[in-house]
Amino acid sequence: MKYRYHIITAMMLLTAALTSCSGNRTESIPTTVGSETTSEETVQYPETESFESEGILFSARSGFYDSDIALFLSADDGRNIYYTLDGSMPTADSTAYTEPIIITDRSSEPDVLAAHSDIAQPADSSRDWLPQKPVDKATVVRAVAVSPDGTVSPAVSATYFIGFEDKADYYKDMTIISLMTDEEGLFDYDKGIYVLGKAYDDWKSGSEYDPETPYYFMPANFTQKGRDWERPATIQFFRNGVAELTQDVGIRIHGGATRSYPQKSFNIYARSDYGLPKLDYDLFRGNVISESDKCPVTEFDTFMLRNGGNDAMYTRFRDKLVQRLAAGHDFLTQGTEPCIVFIDGEYWGHYEITEKIDDAYVSAHCGVPKKDVCIVKKEELDEGSEETFAEWQELRDWVAAADLSDDAEYEKLCGLVDMQSFMEYVSAEIYINNKNWDSSNMAMWKAQTTDDSNNFADGRWRFIMFDVDYSTGIYGEALPNTDSFERLLNKECFLSDLLKAALHNETFRGEFSKTFMEIADNDFSAERANAETDRLSEEYKDMTKDTYNRFWSGWFRDGADEENYNEAVEMLRNFYNKRYEYIVKYLEEFLAEYSNT
């Protein structure tokens, strides 16, 4: 990378920049810079508003600027400043600050991170992951101050977007996230979490290698999980061009089969190890409301940056649409918010900020202390005690053998499971024809300790909807004419056993029929779904096409991005337009079968 550096022409300007940094303050610093000789022209840069952190003064705040700016850095107490421009953590061995840094629009410069092609499967398609032209770029500046005794301050990080008013229109309206992290933590052969890497080569050369393994199940660095595969980063959130939060966090790769995609989802973790144990920020612009206190949820231990999942190369809003249509029922849904991500200054495309399901999520929504939350996810213990999970296993075994035509037995079930939550949850999942559900993407939770003052803490199991993008017509598989009742009942899983057992009870059948039809007529009606699809398809179109071209450029050439997006949206509309007539007929047949037993 090439940056232009200039020496301050007037000593008074240098004096202003090097004023003591004690205390928090905001000031405008002159930005006239030029060469050491008088033969070269002096350049006048716009005034900028400064900020101070960790005893280091930056002459310009993170943000969006119309034109180039001059960045002055200064520190108090005779400390020297060292900085990086590639996102890496600065040390005393980094570049010494001696003159102002001229921040320009670097978008025409060669890509660095985006030039990595060993990031996805199939591995032999690696050239298809590379963008066809340089990606949009910001400049990240990370600096430390080093005392004469060698003490190094915590790093201060900033991100500058220059000339973005001439780029995509969505930048000015979107949440923009800047992630700053060491390149090797993502792309190193041995320990990079974003690459095929050593784990892939070890598998190919080892005894467990099977060439018939589906590519999305092949081991790689990016399929590894756990704290050992978490990397430190700094995250910045921008709205309306203003940096609203900067915080040190941990990042991991998230997902199942979609880890094999060139654009990968991330889990973001706030931890005391990085500084703050929580992220105190309204990620969802006030749109995620706690069911317990009716206030916006604004404090998070963790969240996801989701790549669209199975829908990543289609509409990219399929999951959001379902979650929005299904919200407000007696099961939990996930809040989502679109954003644009930059990593070390390079454009990383559209993501959905998404709530992550854990004990903190349930606590925030339902007012149950984290320590009292048990979550069973994919029929395995996810949060909580082994004792409570043993209770779930006993429930599973009892349901499989119970005669729920006996009203007394059904009442016993209602004391163990919130059956209204179950009916609404199952109705929604069946309506959308979720192909990756039953024992897979299912979750249920309960309070391990009862609390009479909290209706959610009554000790009954309730349900959580998540990861619903493998649905509503995608891949030409989750079709509107599918009998999803039959599909579920043919599965060997807890949800199937519970529905089959409950259907033998006349009271349940009547309540289930009523619940299903209310959801079909109201929440998932074609009219409502199409209105939301119209709005979302317009909002997402440009950033979706840009994300296609950032990560799948070899597949979307010569206008194929526009065609692909429009076809994906029409496939979604087609599902909602046709689903009602099929699923209502299947419901009638399904209930009639159990009424006659």
Q: Above 50 in pLDDT, residue 192? A: yes
Distances from the Cα of 569 to the Cα of 142, 311, 419, 436, 452, angstroms: 41, 11, 34, 20, 47
The alpha carbon of 156 is separated from its chain's Cα centroid by a whole number of angstroms, namely 25
pLDDT digits (tens, 9 = 90+) for 258-278: 999 999 999 999 999 999 999
> pLDDT-based confidence at 43, cuts 50/70/90?
confident
pLDDT digits (tens, 9 = 90+) for 115-156: 999 999 998 898 899 999 999 999 999 999 999 999 999 999
What does the pLDDT read at residue 41?
A: 67
Concatenating the DSSP letter of every residue in 256-305 gives: SGGGGSSS-EEEEE--GGGS-SSEES-TTTT--B-TTT-SB--EESEEEE
Amino acid found at 321: L
> pLDDT-based confidence at 11, cuts 50/70/90?
very low
* Of 224, 263, 251, the residue nearest 121 (C-alpha): 263
What does the pLDDT read at residue 9?
A: 39
| Residues 394-423 as b or e (16 or more Cβ within 10 Å = b) | ebeeebeebebbeeebbeebbebbbbebbb
What does the pLDDT read at residue 14?
A: 40
What does the pLDDT read at residue 27?
A: 44
Q: Above 80 in pLDDT, residue 113? A: yes
What does the pLDDT read at residue 77?
A: 85
User: Tokens 């400043």 map to which residue?
Assistant: 81
pLDDT digits (tens, 9 = 90+) for 342-359: 999 999 999 999 999 999
What does the pLDDT read at residue 32?
A: 60
Percent of the chain whose predicted confidence (pLDDT) is above 90:
89
3-class state of residue 263 by DSSP: coil
pLDDT digits (tens, 9 = 90+) for 440-449: 999 999 999 9
What does the pLDDT read at residue 31?
A: 54
Tell me the C-alpha distance between 496 and 513, whole Å.
Answer: 17
Q: Compute the chain's Rg from CA coordinates.
A: 27
Tell me the C-alpha distance between 214 and 223, whole Å.
Answer: 14
CB under 8 Å to 329, separation ≥6 — which residues? 421, 424, 425, 428, 519, 523
pLDDT digits (tens, 9 = 90+) for 466-481: 999 999 999 999 999 9
> pLDDT-based confidence at 18, cuts 50/70/90?
very low
pLDDT digits (tens, 9 = 90+) for 171-187: 998 999 999 999 999 99
Tell me the C-alpha distance between 185 and 593, whole Å.
Answer: 57
Q: Above 70 in pLDDT, residue 188? A: yes
User: Tokens 């309206």 map to which residue?
Assistant: 173
pLDDT digits (tens, 9 = 90+) for 327-344: 999 999 999 999 999 999
Average pLDDT value for residue range 98-113? 98
Amino acid found at 487: R
Question: What order of strands is seen across the sheet that includes strand 462-464?
Answer: 380-383, 373-377, 443-447, 462-464
The alpha carbon of 1 is separated from its chain's Cα centroid by a whole number of angstroms, namely 30
- Tokens at residue 189, please? 């052969």
Least confident of 2-16, 239-253, 329-343: 2-16
Is residue 111 within 8 A of residue 343, CB to CB? The reply is no
Average pLDDT value for residue range 433-438? 94
What count of other Cβ atoms lies within 10 Å of the Cβ of residue 81?
21
- Kindly provide the residue ranges of all beta strands, DSSP E only, lying in 465-551, ordered along the sequence: none
Would you call the peptide bond into 122 cis, given omega within 30 degrees of 0 as the criterion?
yes
3-class state of residue 149 by DSSP: coil
> pLDDT-based confidence at 459, cuts 50/70/90?
very high
What count of other Cβ atoms lies within 10 Å of the Cβ of residue 511?
15
